[in-house]
Structure 1
């Protein structure tokens, strides 16, 4: 079992001073064109310095990958100066900066894309209200997408980040390739479980090779995934165990599970004896560090996650108390801020996008 205060060194040499990471959360703070804002920089800087690493909210790797307004972009070299300021703001007092990179796939719409039809592995709409039917990516577009993830990784290196996280969770494009609901292709990128993994397989190989060939020292690559889907057909927990088993043997520095609750149990009848986090950790079997997450509000919660992971990601608690890390590391949970009001928003750099997330996810923690 890991402890929060202990250091961790990844295979590419990057060392974290403790086991706490800020979970990637949508901020909607960037300019309309994806350029970083000063408020966004201040938001991350306020929550840096005490914890081991900060993982940013998602940054799109190409224009049709934009998932929402106010989203970060890493789709062009023009974004490097702003991203450099963001990385520098995070990297104070030894905290490491990780840029999460992604493509929204079918989980966007033409209004966000300024009239452009969303793209996905197949022309299958998501099961959500008012979902648009996407256009299926052509074979050459799939290869171009991989090149754009590689280019985004290069830009993250140039901007001074310490790593990138491939966002393969929360039903976005990487997950869409793996899902039998969103991927109905009959070429090399779809069909069997193994073929639905082929895009992720190649993407991970190409991105990690980009890092290794860049000469960048101590730059890491992580991968985030969601363990189950509710759609039918959809990703089942046995599919995810296959995914994790494959990824654990690749050139990644860590895997990061996406869970709303660390104790969540699979809907699968064959995997109900323990939490999905515990099953995943068991499947990895020490081959690569696992980042656990899920309703971590106290130091005890964090230590519980670390019983089945090497790192713990903290989200909502850091929104309310930017100094949660120092207090939890010192086991001073009584000092952790439990509630905020609308009057605290400016002080904590909680713009409308973050505040909306908090109103939806944690209304009981918001005072009047």
Structure 2
């Protein structure tokens, strides 16, 4: 191994007591490949097994905590005890390769396609349609959740954490990013409520913080061994009004006080700069690390392909680096660096390598038919 990359291979201990063997994480990525009934498919098990050998931790694609939160065709569920055997297959496949297995849990809120949820009932913090990025093209206007329904969804996140424990996962990641329900409560665009869950930033944070509390309470009650609880967030939104860096600093300050194992920033580009809400020209990642890095480990992500990309990212002080698209392009990234073969790392997708890379058909079709998503070798 080239000595300059030794930092990638230092172990890291989480507050929960779980140790990672290295600093490289597989980022959560939707793969559209689960069975119709919400169970994990054989193709998904093979896909994760192929990528779990080398990384310290695998964070799965998001699992919906309730049928009304299903955000994608081919998404697996954690919404009932019937799903535990399916989830157990996935956890076992990851752990057999030597990585820690973390289940990402989520509710899509106003971003779900109406045809995927019972009775087409699309819900959110308020009856405000998404301005952009809805998978259905024309975004439906959601129904505002009642207080009772909000409390029920909070409990659903706790129940999904319990199922993850029973299925043998090492942890859960609460998906508060990418415009989904938890973020919809934080955002002044999607949250126009006038009760205890809306208005001030403190009230808009009530829902995500209640979910964190519920999940941690569930872990304390049900986990016999150490169990990771992490939280993923998107630092800003393009909408006006929308989440600003100022809002994000309030969010991460509150999360850092919750004794979480890690915070995971969701970005397409690691070095992206703030849009508004703070007078600072540094990257969002550097600002976040400085703000809370001393209290909770931060996972950085975003267009990291080569070993040099990862080294530069870690130079910011970020202790953990997540690879998403790159681990689809080259599942052997970690072993190549460990063996001093970093110059053999593939950083563009080989169009003819689907079977070699063990990528399920629905995900492969989405990749090759979405220009600009992946760097592709023509």
TM category, shorter: over 0.9
Q: Indicate the residue corresponding to 1:66 in structure 2.
A: 70
> Whole-Å Cα distance in 1 between the matches of residues 191 and 347 of structure 2?
42
2:320 is equivalent to residue 311 of structure 1? yes
Deviation for aligned residue 1:210: 1.0
Pair 199,21 (structure 1): closer, same or farther in 2 beyond 3 Å: same
Deviation for aligned residue 1:274: 0.8
Deviation for aligned residue 1:205: 1.0
String of CA shifts for 1:146-172, please: whole Å, max 9, x gaps. Answer: 111000000000000000000000000
Q: Indicate the residue corresponding to 2:344 in structure 1.
A: 335
Written as runs of structure 1 = structure 2, the 5 A alignment for 1:104-143 is 104-113=108-117, 115-128=119-132, 129-143=137-151
> Whole-Å Cα distance in 1 between the matches of residues 266 and 30 of structure 2?
14
Deviation for aligned residue 1:248: 0.6
> Whole-Å Cα distance in 2 between the matches of residues 259 and 84 of structure 1?
29
> Whole-Å Cα distance in 2 between the matches of residues 229 and 220 of structure 1?
28
Question: Which secondary structure state, in structure 2, belongs to the residue aligned with residue 182 of structure 1?
Answer: coil
2:270 is equivalent to residue 262 of structure 1? yes
> Whole-Å Cα distance in 2 between the matches of residues 185 and 214 of structure 1?
34
> Whole-Å Cα distance in 2 between the matches of residues 364 and 62 of structure 1?
31
Q: Which stretches in structure 2 are left out of the alignment for 5+ residues?
A: none
> Structure 1-normalised TM-score?
0.96
Q: Indicate the residue corresponding to 1:365 in structure 2.
A: 375
Written as runs of structure 1 = structure 2, the 5 A alignment for 1:267-346 is 267-268=275-276, 270-308=278-316, 309-346=318-355
Give the one of 86, 101, 104 matched to 1:100.
104
* Contact 2:67 2:118 (C-alpha < 8 Å) held by counterparts: no
* Contact 2:49 2:97 (C-alpha < 8 Å) held by counterparts: no
* Contact 2:274 2:281 (C-alpha < 8 Å) held by counterparts: no
Q: Indicate the residue corresponding to 1:207 in structure 2.
A: 215
2:43 is equivalent to residue 39 of structure 1? yes
* Contact 2:68 2:118 (C-alpha < 8 Å) held by counterparts: no
String of CA shifts for 1:322-360, please: whole Å, max 9, x gaps. Answer: 111111344422111234444321232222432244333
Pair 180,71 (structure 1): closer, same or farther in 2 beyond 3 Å: same
Q: Indicate the residue corresponding to 2:82 in structure 1.
A: 78
* Contact 1:2 1:307 (C-alpha < 8 Å) held by counterparts: no
Moved more, 261-270 or 246-255: 261-270
String of CA shifts for 1:36-56, please: whole Å, max 9, x gaps. Answer: 000000000000121101000
2:171 is equivalent to residue 163 of structure 1? yes
> Whole-Å Cα distance in 2 between the matches of residues 367 and 225 of structure 1?
31
Give the one of 61, 65, 70 matched to 1:57.
61
* Contact 2:245 2:278 (C-alpha < 8 Å) held by counterparts: no
Pair 167,89 (structure 1): closer, same or farther in 2 beyond 3 Å: same
Deviation for aligned residue 1:32: 1.7
* Contact 2:71 2:107 (C-alpha < 8 Å) held by counterparts: yes
* Contact 1:109 1:117 (C-alpha < 8 Å) held by counterparts: no
> Whole-Å Cα distance in 1 between the matches of residues 374 and 67 of structure 2?
37
Runs of 4+ in 1 over 6 A off after TM superposition: none
Q: Which stretches in structure 1 are left out of the alignment for 5+ residues?
A: none
> Whole-Å Cα distance in 1 between the matches of residues 111 and 329 of structure 2?
28
> Structure 2-normalised TM-score?
0.93
Aligned residues: 368
Pair 230,55 (structure 1): closer, same or farther in 2 beyond 3 Å: same
> Whole-Å Cα distance in 1 between the matches of residues 54 and 118 of structure 2?
40
* Contact 1:298 1:328 (C-alpha < 8 Å) held by counterparts: no
